[in-house]
Chain A
Amino acid sequence: MRLSVPTYLIVFLAFSFLQCQPEEPLTFDYLPPATTSTEIDQWLLAEYTTPYNIWVDYKWRPYEVDPNRVLVPPKESVVMPVMQLIKDTWIQPYAENAGEDFIKQLAPKHFVLVGSAQYNNDGTIVLGEAESGRKVTLFKLNDFSLANTTETVEMLHTIHHEFAHIMHQTILYPQAYKQLTPQGYTASWYNTSNEDALDLGFISPYARASADEDFVEMIAAMLTMSSEAFDDKVNSASPAGKASLLEKKAMVVNYFKTAWNIDFQLLRASTYAAIERATNPGLL
């Protein structure tokens, strides 16, 4: 197409006008408007964001969760108790036994708190998930009560489980671990009873989901159970299952030492003592 000279002139003038406006800074203020900081916001800032650079989302952010699931935000009344418990039973024991820098470097930078469980189509529910070592989402917090020791320990199990994922995603555990019970991994792990899982050499049915899940389930169980309770559980397995579990336990302890220079027995003692204190407030 050929443009005439006057046409060029008009185009030039038009673009000149478009460019004649003064430059203005870009603003993004239409994202969530500022609201008054609540007591919860200030507490999270002081206990998590400032010392550990961890951001905690407890208010609903739809893009932080699976849009295809029905979920609800947590009750405000559970946010501080849950995060205090997590600090006492996860951050502090690691800080004591591996150093503040360890937890600052490895801790996920973003916690998303969800009130309900995440329901899967197969009838199972998700209690927690980790995303690329950056974000941990905790579900089912509206049921949280320190008086309910079983559910509280279950939640802490989830935290330690997800953090262990970050650890092995940073330094991989020995390949030999995957060869201990290779036949036992299955996508339909949820059809397995606790007893059958133990007999097959897995600490829980979910440990059958994959070698990674198996490894972090072992760590979470070893940290959140007393050593007596853990040993009793292992001893209740079939001889073959028990042998596999003991091998896995030894590999976990060795991994902590060689990969992270952490004495697992000391970490375990600190963690379990903190859990005992939290769930039995009468204890000193």
Chain B
Amino acid sequence: MKRWYCWMLIGQIACNGDLAEVSPDARVTKLLEAHQSKLTSASHGWLGVLQTQSGPSYSFCLQFSDDGRVQMWSDISRDCAESPSLSSYSVRAALKPSLSFDSYSHLHLLSDPDPAVNQGVPGQGYSSDFEFSFVRETEDSVILLGNHHNSSLVLVKLSENAFNLWRSERMGNYITAIDAHVKGNPYLTILNEDNSKTGVFLDLVEKTLHAYTPVGNTYQQFSTHFVFTPEGISLLTAFRYDGHDIQALYFDALNQLLYLRTDRRVDVKTSAEPIVPLHYLLGTVYTLIDLPHNPLELPGWSYEFRTDWLYMANGFYSCCLLGTGNTAFRFNENQTLQLDILVQSTVTGTWYLLRYPFRYDFLPDNTLLLTGAGEGNPNGEYLRYYTTRLLEELVGHRFHITYQADGRQYLASLQSVSHPEFTFTGHLR
């Protein structure tokens, strides 16, 4: 009996006019037309936030027209914020219905494999996309996913007022002003209800905000990517403050400061000195302690450290190398650290990199412990004879790590716990 029903069902389906009359081509065409009309339906354009795979996130203002043209502004640079690009787009059937930005626009700067264009990785750019599949749509938003690198592009309809702000030169001015504000005031704070202060750090290259809020005897870290908007900075993840989810920092151009909004305005204050202990910030806010070539350039280098340093530099010089260029301690978030020493040949002028890997840990007493120095790179091993003395003072020893004032700037100061005469300082980057 079951078999009978199956055959009858096939017969029914075969005679169903609705299905048989609509070919796959027609259905795909209908779907593409629906997507295209959705894009052109936003009379005041779309706010787009693009998350690249190997770089920061970027904001766009996009206005699609019926004739296959798209005008866009972006926070990629001041130029992109002020001068819109006009290019072509198409909605087409690839493996999935896709939106393709098919002639060069601001968006392509992030995919450009030429590092001279936008400082991307040679041959890769920022692993970003300019062809996207439609993933989901709501009344006011469209979510797209990159066809090659899976970068996400979220479009949200803009209001007339917001669109006009994008078209003004305001965002370009804000990008420049916020950049100058943050560079001139690296220690930003927000006053909490209990009168404690949250330290705020804005990394304008990675477009990341780090906030450190005191909780008991420690600090709670919060980090999120952000993009620029014509009003200031939009956080991709909300920051919890005073019982409110903070999604944006606004810029007060008149007073040249950032502020946030709860049920009131809260200014992000500037501080002349750092408030968050340095050991919380290494590996996130600061990834580099940079020692200059000239040992007399910085205060806080002890006689013992300077002696080991000069021993190394003289050793290099005896090998026809001009001694050290910059030396850098590179802190990564995964508790690994690289000591990089640049040396230059006095014969050819060529620079060589000596690299030694470590693991670093902050112990309960907040001292820094460097361990497990593995094999250096070939240059490092080749010249290890001259670096051993310095490395032996570093590996297996604990260090107090604090700020040291140097005029208006603050340096990182490291002092050996077991050998307190061994101290040195470096620039924080």
Find out whether the CB atom of A62 lies under 8 angstroms from the CB atom of B90.
no
Find out whether the CB atom of A62 lies under 8 angstroms from the CB atom of B103.
no
Q: Is B23 an interface residue (CB 8 A)?
A: yes
Q: Is A150 an interface residue (CB 8 A)?
A: no
Q: Is A72 an interface residue (CB 8 A)?
A: yes
Question: How many CB-defined contacts (below 8 Å) exist between A and B?
Answer: 119
Question: What separation, in Å, do the CA atoms of A74 and B87 have in the docked complex?
Answer: 11
Partner of B103, one of A17, A58, A140: A58
Find the residue from B14, B36, B127, B147 having the highest chain A CB count within 10 A. B14
Name which of A25-33, A93-101, A167-175 contacts chain B.
Answer: A25-33
Residue of A nearest to B28 (CB): A30
Find out whether the CB atom of A21 lies under 8 angstroms from the CB atom of B21.
yes
Question: What separation, in Å, do the CA atoms of A17 and B26 have in the docked complex?
Answer: 21
Name which of A112-120, A130-138, A176-184, A241-249 contacts chain B.
Answer: A112-120
Find out whether the CB atom of A14 lies under 8 angstroms from the CB atom of B25.
no
Closest CB-CB distance, A223 to chain B, in whole Å?
27
Q: Which residues of B contact A35 (CB under 8 A)?
A: 67-68, 88, 90
Find out whether the CB atom of A59 lies under 8 angstroms from the CB atom of B10.
no
Find out whether the CB atom of B124 lies under 8 angstroms from the CB atom of A70.
yes
Q: A62-B131, A117-B114 are in contact. Are A14 and B108 (CB under 8 A)?
A: no
Residue of A nearest to B131 (CB): A62
Q: Is B215 an interface residue (CB 8 A)?
A: no
Question: What separation, in Å, do the CA atoms of A38 and B100 have in the docked complex?
Answer: 17
Partner of B7, one of A14, A29, A115: A14
Q: Is A87 an interface residue (CB 8 A)?
A: no
Find out whether the CB atom of B91 lies under 8 angstroms from the CB atom of A33.
yes
Find the residue from B29, B88, B92, B148 having the highest chain A CB count within 10 A. B88
* Chief secondary structure at chain A's binding surface: loop
Residues of chain A at interface, number, CB under 8 A: 44
Q: A75-B104, A116-B114 are in contact. Are A26 and B90 (CB under 8 A)?
A: no
Residue of A nearest to B107 (CB): A72
Q: Is B11 an interface residue (CB 8 A)?
A: yes
Question: What separation, in Å, do the CA atoms of A124 and B130 have in the docked complex?
Answer: 24
* Chief secondary structure at chain B's binding surface: mixed
Q: Which residues of B contact A58 (CB under 8 A)?
A: 103
Closest CB-CB distance, B95 to chain A, in whole Å?
10
Q: Is B298 an interface residue (CB 8 A)?
A: no
Q: A21-B20, A31-B92, A70-B111 are in contact. Are A7 and B67 (CB under 8 A)?
A: no
Closest CB-CB distance, B178 to chain A, in whole Å?
29
Find out whether the CB atom of A59 lies under 8 angstroms from the CB atom of B102.
yes
Question: What separation, in Å, do the CA atoms of A7 and B8 have in the docked complex?
Answer: 10
Closest CB-CB distance, B74 to chain A, in whole Å?
15
Find out whether the CB atom of A117 lies under 8 angstroms from the CB atom of B4.
no
Q: Is B93 an interface residue (CB 8 A)?
A: yes
Interface residues on B, range: 35 or more
Q: Which residues of B contact A74 (CB under 8 A)?
A: 103-104
Q: Is A10 an interface residue (CB 8 A)?
A: yes
Partner of B113, one of A7, A29, A116, A143: A116
Find out whether the CB atom of A36 lies under 8 angstroms from the CB atom of B4.
no
Partner of B93, one of A31, A69, A119: A31
Residue of B nearest to A15 (CB): B14
Q: Is A71 an interface residue (CB 8 A)?
A: yes
Closest CB-CB distance, A24 to chain B, in whole Å?
7
Find out whether the CB atom of B10 lies under 8 angstroms from the CB atom of A14.
yes
Q: Is B94 an interface residue (CB 8 A)?
A: yes
Q: A14-B10, A28-B25, A115-B108 are in contact. Are A70 and B123 (CB under 8 A)?
A: yes
Q: Which residues of B contact A17 (CB under 8 A)?
A: 11, 14-15
Q: Is B112 an interface residue (CB 8 A)?
A: yes
Q: Which residues of A contact B29 (CB under 8 A)?
A: 27, 29-30
Closest CB-CB distance, B9 to chain A, in whole Å?
9
Q: Is A283 an interface residue (CB 8 A)?
A: no
Q: Which residues of A contact B380 (CB under 8 A)?
A: none
Q: Is A189 an interface residue (CB 8 A)?
A: no
Closest CB-CB distance, A184 to chain B, in whole Å?
28
Partner of A33, one of B8, B15, B90: B90
Q: Which residues of A contact B25 (CB under 8 A)?
A: 26-30
